[in-house]
Amino acid sequence: MSNRAPMRTFIALGVAMSLTLMACQTDREITSPDPVPPTDQLLQTALLTAADLPPGWVPDGAPTPINAEVVPGSPCDDALSKLRPKTSASAGFTSATGRLNNSVAYFPGQGAAVTDTLLAVAESCQKVVIADGTAVRSARLEFGVLSDNTVGIRFEFEPKTGPIQETDLILIQNGDLVSLVRLDGTRPSDTVLLDSTVRTAIGRLSAVASQI
């Protein structure tokens, strides 16, 4: 009698464990959502909006494309005009202090090449004087480590008279997707604004990249 009781207990525990394992098993296959094509409409969801900017910034209705020139009248940035994204979207904003633009684009198999192009332009435009006598200088822009695939370039425009102007380009690459944040205004630029908008742009680009 004393030997049978432990045996019954052992069998009962075995049956209970088997039932629990059967209940946990499932034949359902875990799948990821089907990838979607990177259409202009999808890229628009990665753009900055007026809600992402401080008070005083409003949409200007004339966004700058990702392949727009930076140094007018100079061939030093001609490589930018040769960028040909398969799809793209842009948004522009203005305030009393300057202009901010955000462009998102898809370059199949060429995402890294866009970064290389921007770096090459920065090197080519290091010291340039354009027709009206404005001296142009370009250099890497360091404003904090936001992403391993984030590159910042500063362009300064010093006219013969008047204040020095500055254009900052921040390029974020995620695979074959890129997002370009561009800030134009009087030097020095608003680094707090750049930091907040670039952080937002990184997150939005990552969200789109996860869908394609």
Residue 15: predicted pLDDT? 44
Residue 37: predicted pLDDT? 84
Q: What digits encode the pLDDT tens for the residues 43-89?
A: 999 999 999 999 999 999 889 999 999 999 899 999 999 999 999 99
Percent of the chain whose pLDDT exceeds 70: 82
Percent of the chain whose pLDDT exceeds 90: 74
Q: How large is the average pLDDT for residues 14-43?
A: 63
Query: Which residues have CB under 8 Å from 131's CB, separation 6+?
Result: 73
Transcribe the chain into DSSP letters: -TTHHHHHHHHHHHHHHHHHHHHH---PPP-PPPP----HHHHHTTS--GGGS-TT-EE-S-PPPTT--SSTT-GGGHHHHT---SEEEEEEEEETTEEEEEEEEE-TTTHHHHHHHHHHHHHHTSEEE-TTS-EEEEEE-------TTEEEEEEEEE-SSSPPEEEEEEEEEETTEEEEEEEEEESSP-HHHHHHHHHHHHHHHHHHHTT-
Residue 9 has pLDDT above 80, yes or no: no
Q: How large is the average pLDDT for residues 20-48?
A: 72
What is the set of domains in the chain, with CATH numbers? 40-209 (3.40.1000.70)
Using omega within 30 degrees of 0 as the cis cutoff, is the peptide bond preceding 188 cis?
Answer: yes
Cα angle for residues 32, 175, 100 (degrees, 5° grid): 115
